[in-house]
Structure 1
C-alpha cells in the first residue's frame, strides 16, 4: 500500500484527486492539507510514501515546503503538481532536488501511475516541461534584492521590510527599484510576478 499526503488548497481539485485515488487498491490518502506550512508536520505524523504538492499553496509555497520535507523526511518522495505556464518554478524545484512532476491538466489515469513511479524512486518528468524550465536563466537579482522582493510578495510594506531586515526604508526602496529594473517590470507587483514565474523567489 502506497501512503499519500495530498497538499492542494482548492477544495474541488483536492476532493477530485482524493476520489480518483480511492479507486486504486494500492494507494491510500493518509492526509490532506491546504497550506504549505502544514505539509511537514502532517508528514511527520502520517509518514506518507509520496507527498503530492501543488506549487501554489498559501502561507508557504509548495516548493519551499517540499524542500523542507525532503530535508526533514527524505524517505517521503515528492510529486509536484504544476502548470505548463510555470517552467521557472519547475527549474526552482529541480534545483532543490525534486525529480517528479505532473502537469495539472494531464489525463486522470496518469496520476496513479505517476504516484507508483515516484514511490518506486523513479523520475517523473514531462520533457516539454523540463525543456521550458531550462530556458530560464539564473536570477539577475542579488541575494538582498531577492530577500526584499520575497518579503514584498508576502505583503510587507517597505517600512515593515526595513524593520525585519534591519535596514533603512530608503535602502529597501532602492533594492525594490533594482529588482524592478533587473526583471524588466513595470512596478513592484509586476516584478514579483515575473520573479515568481521564473522561479527566482
Structure 2
C-alpha cells in the first residue's frame, strides 16, 4: 500500500515517471537492467535482499543509475552504511511528501540529498566503534545463536567468541549482550 502511494505521488509530478516498482530486494537489479532508470528509490527494509545490498548490486551493474534511500531508519550508523554502499540520497519516510520529488530531482541532477537532522546526528555520534568481526558475532547473537554455536559455525575458539562479544558490549556501553544488541541496532551499527 505504501509503495503504491509513493508511486502515485511521484506520478503526479509532470517531469517524473515511474518505470517500475518491485516488492523484493532481489527484484531491484533485474528491473533496473530492464528499465534503465535514472534514479532508483529504495527502502533499506526490503524483503529478501535488503536495500543496501541491492544498491551495491545496482551500482556495480548499472553505475549510471543513482540511488535514493527512502526509509524509516533514521539512525546515524544506518546512514553511514548507506553512504558506504554508495547511495546518493537518504531521506526519511516521515518527510513532507513534496520532499520526495525534490530529492529524486536533486539526486538525478548529480547532487547528494541527506536528511539534515540525521546528518547532524550522524556527525555528532561518531563512527561505528565495532569491528566487522564484533558486528558479525553480535548479529549472530541477536539471531539467537549462543557463543558455543557461533564458535562451531565460524570455527573459532569459544574464548575468542566470548572475548569479541565482551569487547562489543564494552564498546557499545551496554550492560550485557542484549543491551549491546539494542544499542548497536539503535545506532545502525547492526
Q: Tell me the TM-score normalized by structure 1.
A: 0.78
- Partners in 2 of 1:31 and 1:163 — Cα distance? 43
- The worse-fitting range, judged by mean Cα deviation, of 48-57 and 187-196 is 187-196
1:8 alignment partner in structure 2: none
1:157 equivalenced with 2:158 (yes/no): no
**Compared with structure 1, are the counterparts of its residues 165 and 15 closer, same or farther at alpha carbon in structure 2 (3 Å cutoff)?**
same
SS at 1:32 equivalent: coil
1:70 Cα offset (Å): 1.9
1:142 equivalenced with 2:131 (yes/no): yes
Which consecutive residues of structure 2, in runs of 5 or more, have no partner in the other structure?
Answer: none
Identify the match of residue 37 of structure 1 among 26, 41, 56: 26
Matches within 5 A, 1:162-173: 162-173=151-162
1:73 Cα offset (Å): 1.8
1:69 alignment partner in structure 2: 58
- Partners in 2 of 1:191 and 1:118 — Cα distance? 35
- Does the CA-based 8 Å contact 2:43-2:51 persist in structure 1? yes
1:160 Cα offset (Å): 4.8
- Partners in 1 of 2:9 and 2:179 — Cα distance? 37
1:51 Cα offset (Å): 1.0
**Compared with structure 1, are the counterparts of its residues 152 and 82 closer, same or farther at alpha carbon in structure 2 (3 Å cutoff)?**
same
Point out the structure with the larger strand share.
Answer: 1
Could you give the per-residue CA deviations for residues 66-95 of structure 1, whole angstroms, max 9, x where no partner exists?
233223321111111134742221122223
- Partners in 1 of 2:49 and 2:175 — Cα distance? 26
2:45 alignment partner in structure 1: 56
Identify the match of residue 9 of structure 2 among 7, 20, 24: 20
- Partners in 2 of 1:188 and 1:42 — Cα distance? 40
- Partners in 2 of 1:161 and 1:104 — Cα distance? 36
1:54 Cα offset (Å): 1.5
Identify the match of residue 124 of structure 1 among 87, 108, 113: 113
1:9 alignment partner in structure 2: none
- Does the CA-based 8 Å contact 2:130-2:171 persist in structure 1? yes
- Does the CA-based 8 Å contact 2:77-2:128 persist in structure 1? no
Q: Tell me the TM-score normalized by structure 2.
A: 0.82
Which consecutive residues of structure 1, in runs of 5 or more, have no partner in the other structure?
Answer: 1-11
Number of paired residues?
189
- Partners in 2 of 1:69 and 1:193 — Cα distance? 30
SS at 1:30 equivalent: coil
